[in-house]
Amino acid sequence: MKPLILNVDDNESGRYIKTRLLRQGGYEVIEARTGMEALEVARRERPDLVLLDVKLPDINGFEVCRLIKKQDIQLLVLQISASFVAPQDRAVGLDSGADAYLSQPVEPSELLATIRALLRLKRAEQAAEQSNELYRMIVQSVVDHAIITVDQNGLIQSWSEGAQRVLGWAEVEVLGQSADCIYTREDVAGGVPHTERQRAATEASVTSNRWHLRKDGRPIWASCVMAPMRARGGLAQGFILVLRDLTIEKTQQDAMERTNAWLEREVAVRTGALTEANRRLRAEIEERQQAEAALRQVQKMEAIGQLTGGIAHDFNNMLTVVLGSTESLKKALPATEAAQHRRADLVMQAATQAAALTHRLLAFARRQPSDSKPASLNVLVDGLIDMLHRTIGESIQLEIDLEQDLPLVTIDSNQLEIALLNLAVNARDAMPGGGKLVIRTLSRGERVLLTVSDTGIGMSEETQRRAMEPFFTTKRHGEGTGLGLAQVAGFMAQSEGSLDLVSTEGKGTTVRLSFPRLPEGTAIVREFVPDEGLFDGKGRHALVVEDQQGVREHVAESLRQLGFEVATASDAMAARSHVDVGHPVDLLMTDIGLPGGTDGWQVADYMRKARPDVRIVLMTGYAQSNATPLGPGTELLMKPFVRSTLELRLSRLFSRNRA
């Protein structure tokens, strides 16, 4: 269902333009010409967002906004004005309750982007409200546990129905009172409640088994778990207590202990067997706890992987335009414009660094397409020696130890180079006063190993446990992304390999990468090397299919500069229509992720049937797993890319015969 937007503007032409833009952006639009009409329509139709012009003939937009918010505080209001553009006007608009304020003239893309952002925030708020309501329902449905929240001073903030059943007090009797009432006098006098809150504030949770008091004064034996409720900065702003009445279990346990003591005295011969049974039980409990912790970690990593993969994909689209446009501008600059050339170089350098960061994000999220081929670790390491020297600096000695006749492995050479450079950077940062970095290759049975060792400061056990978590870093703020080892771990998982980390504080760290070896006789795949000179597409026709306008225009212009006649389409339907009417297509360049339910793989299949001799380039910010091979005359091109990379792929496509 399309979001409904109320467009309020007394100017006919302005209202028409905005309504048309909004409908093109995929929104359903209703209109109002005056403030009073806007209030009535908003009350009756309950739109998702009100696009409100400030200057209206009856009531100004500031007052209309206040009245709308009085009717429905959650209704989004985006104020827009060509007359009230001063900072104080924006302040008045926002103080009147507006969720955002734009000054005209405004770019259509900025207006649509602002609306999308506001609607995203609204959906997030609705999801949070639903989550809170679900949490409340869950808490109230638990009747055999007491669930209590207290503030930093131990004053009760909430009291579940289960708490009333277990402890006897009704919620109205205890709200705002000290939680000391549920502790024994001895524990209160000994400062136990305060001590437990202090411990919980610095730990993940505190568990205790002790006597507590009911309203009627009867003691109960309860297991209590206290955990902090942390604010955004990490400080504990309160605590949640979960109590379970174990009085019956305690009585049974005490009776069992007395019986066991008697049995131990009477049947000493069975003591050893009982001890062994208890040991196995403890081991099983510990094993189960470890399995549960591992499952939680896997789920967390998967969630973060989805988030980072999506961010990197969108960022790669933007970087494609930035890199390509800057490259074109640089080529168009006269050689005499040295300062402008330097500025263009700085932009390309920054964009290239950003592309490297998204590459690490995608590698961590395991969404980076793997271009795995048989390769020699020795050749790859040897080719990186100069770059490794520049990376670690002169204060660190680099030692390379490569085993002769090393078996080949199947890897993505580019990702291995990035992984090795990440490990070298980590080693350099661990040796601020200088040291030694040793890179070694060796074969062990069916495995081929690549080890990176340093003589740096090493890691604590806690750091080793968290070293491969995404965004975890021990470096100061701004000195590291926390993605280095996470990227290496993601690369090894894609390569069906394994990663071992061995470190001792004060002695250094060794990272061991293990790959399956290939059978003897496996050949290294040689990269295609095009003929020198600019690729010439003159006389050929290209179709570019890309839903992102900036990327679409950039790719089309790059192909025109190479001599192609270029047509464009924003989705699969438009691409099929272009082919169906008989237009010639020698080259199809399509994004894999397209709107409308048809992706780039399907567009390519359709094109092969309609134009058997077509060459195809599939573009992607990341490639979802697809069991379908690329097929003849097809290349996969990762975003972002520069024109030289595009020329290489086109040279490779058009220089070989279709199978």
Q: What is the pLDDT of residues 276-332, one digit of tens each?
A: 888 888 888 887 877 676 556 555 555 555 555 566 667 677 777 777 677 777 677
pLDDT at res. 307 = 58
DSSP state of 105: S
**Average pLDDT for 619-625:** 66
pLDDT at res. 142 = 60
**Average pLDDT for 406-414:** 86
**Average pLDDT for 624-633:** 62
In order of 294, 441, 444, 520, 529, the CA distances from 523 in angstroms are: 40, 19, 21, 9, 18
Question: How many angstroms separate the first and last alpha carbons of the chain?
Answer: 46
pLDDT at res. 526 = 55
Q: Identify which has the larger pLDDT, 264 or 95.
A: 95
State yes or no: pLDDT of 614 exceeds 90. yes
**Average pLDDT for 43-50:** 90
pLDDT at res. 308 = 58
Question: Each residue of 522-557: b (16+ CB within 10 Å) or e?
Answer: eeeeeeeeeeeeebebeebbbbbbbbbebbbbbbbb
List pLDDT tens digits, range 172-202.
999 999 999 999 999 999 999 999 998 888 8
pLDDT at res. 471 = 63
CA 189 – CA 641 distance, rounded (Å): 70
Tokens of 566: 């270029």
- How far, in whole angstroms, is CA 465 from its chain's centroid? 21
State yes or no: pLDDT of 220 exceeds 70. yes
List pLDDT tens digits, range 471-502.
666 665 545 555 567 778 777 877 788 888 88
State yes or no: pLDDT of 627 exceeds 50. no
pLDDT at res. 334 = 81
- Which H, E and C letters describe 384-421, residue by residue? CHHHHHHHHCCCEEEEEEECCCCCCEEECHHHHHHHHH
Under 8 Å between Cβ of 554 and 321: yes
Beta pairing, strands 49-53 & 4-8? parallel
pLDDT at res. 585 = 95
pLDDT at res. 617 = 94
**Average pLDDT for 38-59:** 90
Under 8 Å between Cβ of 48 and 3: yes
CA 446 – CA 496 distance, rounded (Å): 13
Radius of gyration of the chain (CA): 33
State yes or no: pLDDT of 596 exceeds 70. yes
Amino acid sitting at position 117: A
- How far, in whole angstroms, is CA 171 from its chain's centroid? 41
Work out the number of other CB atoms within 10 angstroms of the CB of residue 135: 10
**Average pLDDT for 564-590:** 94
**Average pLDDT for 610-632:** 76
Beta pairing, strands 206-213 & 219-230? antiparallel
pLDDT at res. 506 = 87
CA 646 – CA 630 distance, rounded (Å): 17
List pLDDT tens digits, range 226-273.
999 887 777 888 999 999 888 888 888 888 888 887 877 777 767 677
Handedness of CA 388, 390, 393, 398 (dihedral sign): positive
State yes or no: pLDDT of 536 exceeds 50. yes
Q: How many CA atoms lie within 13 A of 621 on its CB side?
A: 25
Read off φ and ψ for residue 46, nearest 5 degrees: 50, 65
CA dihedral 451, 453, 458, 462 (to 10 degrees): 0
pLDDT at res. 263 = 77
- The percent of residues in the chain predicted with pLDDT above 70, rounded, is 83
Confidence of residue 529 (pLDDT cuts 50, 70, 90): very low
Domains of the chain in sequence order: 4-136 (3.40.50.2300), 142-266 (3.30.450.20), 373-516 (3.30.565.10), 541-655 (3.40.50.2300)
Q: Identify which has the larger pLDDT, 422 or 437.
A: 437
Confidence of residue 613 (pLDDT cuts 50, 70, 90): very high
Q: Look at the chain and count its residues.
A: 659
In whole numbers, what is the pLDDT of the chain averaged over residues?
82
Largest CA distance in the chain: 103
Under 8 Å between Cβ of 209 and 193: no
Q: Identify which has the larger pLDDT, 478 or 23.
A: 23
State yes or no: pLDDT of 368 exceeds 70. no
